[in-house]
Amino acid sequence: MDLGLEGLRAVVTGGTSGIGLATAKLLLAEGCRVALCGRDAARLADAAGPLRAAFGDRVLAERCDVLDKAQVEAFRDAVVARFGGADILVNNAGQGRLSTFADTADEAWGDEFRLKFFSVIHPTRAFLPALEKSASAAVVVVNSLLARQPEPHMVATSALRAGVQNLAKSMSVEFAPKRVRVNAILLGIVDSGQWQRRYEAQAKGGETKEQWMAKLAKEKGILIGRLGRPEEPAAAIAFLASPAASFITGASLEVAGGVSRFA
């Protein structure tokens, strides 16, 4: 099936690692021009180098912290200057917070609120005028199954993921008359930068990454029996962002290996 992505202009926040990087690669392979951002200059250079070598000037890579409104607006200006507009926005930047109610201080709740909400609000607000001018506009919010299925050891992330789900639904309703579709994916556990960091922090003497991941998949009840690979959510994101999904808005797609306990 041709997704119809050829020639579209895509923005991927947090595109320097894991799911964002896999999404940027897939969108480029499908013929998009892709702008990606991240905060860390070295990670940005490492991600952008091979992409530029493979896809040339269809790649734009900029340093940008999505929590900094001025930086997001500067990123938007760079994208519009280079690509003349934007058709797709993938709000992917972020990370989870491991903490229970007992050990989440008020400041941490505030930090997590800012990360989860403003990583969506700032880029969406900045790119919306460009998206409104597109004939095929789509926003994809990378969210987590924690929105529906909270985990006590990620209490703040879970609660705020539920809020982001609610926000994405409201945006889909408000933006529909502007012909901007908004959908979300709800991730289970996908092997990426943040899980590599947790493996390094948690693995016990000599445990390989594969052993640690297999144990984790069993503990978490992942029916498919393994963690996801970044390319798997990337495929779901590319589909929802594409003209092939032209009648889909306000939807949430679980990409979680069947771990969901809810119908």
Q: Which residues bind ligand NDP (CB under 6 A)?
A: 13-14, 16-20, 37-40, 43, 64-67, 92-96, 142, 144, 187, 189-190, 192-195
What the block records as the tokens of 206 is 């000599």
Specify the residue, 61 or 136, whose C-beta has the smaller distance to ligand NDP: 61
Shortest spacing between CB 178 and ligand NDP, in angstroms: 25
What the block records as the tokens of 198 is 């947790």
Shortest spacing between CB 179 and ligand NDP, in angstroms: 26
Specify the residue, 180 or 234, whose C-beta has the smaller distance to ligand NDP: 234
85, 135 Cβ separation under 8 angstroms: no
Shortest spacing between CB 1 and ligand NDP, in angstroms: 25
Specify the residue, 118 or 244, whose C-beta has the smaller distance to ligand NDP: 118
Q: Which amino acid is at 233?
A: P
88, 241 Cβ separation under 8 angstroms: yes
Shortest spacing between CB 60 and ligand NDP, in angstroms: 15
Number of neighbours of residue 202 by Cβ within 10 angstroms: 12
CA distance 116 to 88: 20
Specify the residue, 23 or 249, whose C-beta has the smaller distance to ligand NDP: 23
Shortest spacing between CB 23 and ligand NDP, in angstroms: 9
- Helix and strand numbers (H, E) in the chain are 8, 7
Specify the residue, 59 or 142, whose C-beta has the smaller distance to ligand NDP: 142
Q: Is 181 left (phi over 0), alpha (psi -120 to 50) or beta?
A: beta
Helix ranges restricted to H, 57-154 = 69-83, 106-132
Shortest spacing between CB 227 and ligand NDP, in angstroms: 7
Specify the residue, 190 or 241, whose C-beta has the smaller distance to ligand NDP: 190
Shortest spacing between CB 77 and ligand NDP, in angstroms: 16
Specify the residue, 193 or 250, whose C-beta has the smaller distance to ligand NDP: 193
Specify the residue, 63 or 82, whose C-beta has the smaller distance to ligand NDP: 63
Helix (H, G, I), strand (E, B) or coil at 262: coil
Residues in the chain: 263
Shortest spacing between CB 132 and ligand NDP, in angstroms: 24
Q: Is 255 left (phi over 0), alpha (psi -120 to 50) or beta?
A: beta
Residue nearest to ligand NDP (CB): 18
* φ, ψ of residue 72 in degrees (nearest 5): -65, -40
Query: DSSP string covering 157-193, please?
Result: HHHHHHHHHHHHHHHHHHHGGGTEEEEEEEE--B-SH
